[in-house]
Structure 1
Amino acid sequence: MSRTSRPVPLPRVAPSPSAEPPYDDERPSGDLPAAPPYVQGALALAYGPEPVEPPARSPLIWGPPGAVPDERRLRALGQAVAEVLSGRRPPASVSPHMTGRAHAELVRSGKIINCARPPLVGTAHVSQPKDGVVEMCVLVHCGDRPRVLALRLERRGVQWLCTDVETTP
């Protein structure tokens, strides 16, 4: 039997995109939103400027009436608020989880936690003074002086919103 030889396709050279980011003068002229600064150890909350329209708030938890929020999510919210108070996170990143008054108070407070490393939140101590209200406090480890952060959350429909934020000076 004779084998007919088929032509073997030759490899082709394809251009590859540049691995380096473009310089500022090489960017397109369209206004692209600036990327938020990278913060190591940050929580996965939405970064970005405050939207013009009220955001569609994502619930902190889903559950039956009277159910207390998940303690892991409460601790994550406490961590995010501590990072805002230390200047390592923009306040807009936690605004979907707060009422307007609490968010304004957080913005007004500014950077009141000074520490060289990112703050680390300890175990959340949760109490439920009445139905639909949860109060929690966490110890924020930042440098040589730990601080206390207290949050009050109220149930609004199926979601929990932070209505008050207090911390030690």
Structure 2
Amino acid sequence: MNRRPPQPPTVRISRYRAAPGTDGALALGRVPGAVAAEHRLRIVRPGDDAEAELRRFADTALLMVAETLAGIRPPARLSVIALPDVCRALDARRTVRPARIVPPRVGTGWLQRPAPAAAETGAVIVVAGRVHALALRLEHRRGRWRCTAVETTAA
């Protein structure tokens, strides 16, 4: 019997816990024994014409996922930008729609390209008055960008 290895979750909700000795600040440093990546990460800057399409897609994807987390947009509507696994995982986490709908705000964001056909984007978002982190994995498949994974602190 051939068994597939377990796949990482497509949507992961992270609970924030401060690392020991950091007083809640992020501890940015090399992990002992970590091997340097073959491709260096590159920050994509606004105005970089070669990356303009990717930046527009990333901004749209962040807003659409934030709206889904806020209960404004049904997860099935993400099928335009995301893989079916992402839509199903977000639909499974969906809670009852709030009585008063408050549009989410997308704040400071970033975009990087760890590989030619992959990008990672993230932003600080405000959903229902609470500040959360949102990160998306984007991959170029069949001639277009698609969201393949979501990680957030918004439940």
Compute the TM-score of the two structures, normalised by the length of structure 2: 0.58
Contact 1:86 1:112 in 2 (8 A): no
Name the SS for the 2:67 alignment partner: helix
Name the SS for the 2:130 alignment partner: coil
Contact 1:118 1:142 in 2 (8 A): yes
Bigger RCO (CA 8 Å, 6+ sep): 2
| Counterparts in 2 of 1:156 and 1:85: CA distance versus 1, 3 Å | same
Identity %: 33
5+ unaligned residues in a row in structure 1: which ranges?
Answer: 1-65
Residues 1:166 and 2:151 are matched in the alignment:
yes
Residues 1:135 and 2:102 are matched in the alignment:
no
Query: How far is the alpha carbon of 1:94 from its aligned partner?
Result: 1.3
| Counterparts in 2 of 1:165 and 1:119: CA distance versus 1, 3 Å | same
What is the aligned counterpart of 1:82 among 42, 66, 71? 66
Letter in 2 for 1:105: A
Aligned length: 104
What is the aligned counterpart of 1:117 among 80, 83, 102? 102
Task: Give RMSD over aligned pairs.
Answer: 2.5
Query: How far is the alpha carbon of 1:142 from its aligned partner?
Result: 2.9
Contact 2:61 2:147 in 1 (8 A): no
Q: Which has the higher strand share?
A: 2
Residues in 1 aligned to 2:51 and 2:129: alpha-carbon distance in whole angstroms: 37
Residues in 2 aligned to 1:125 and 1:79: alpha-carbon distance in whole angstroms: 13
5+ unaligned residues in a row in structure 2: which ranges?
Answer: 1-49
Compute the TM-score of the two structures, normalised by the length of structure 1: 0.54
**Match in the other structure for 1:62:** none
Say which one has the larger Rg: 1
**Match in the other structure for 2:132:** 147
Residues 1:157 and 2:118 are matched in the alignment:
no
Query: How far is the alpha carbon of 1:144 from its aligned partner?
Result: 4.0
What is the aligned counterpart of 1:96 among 80, 96, 113? 80
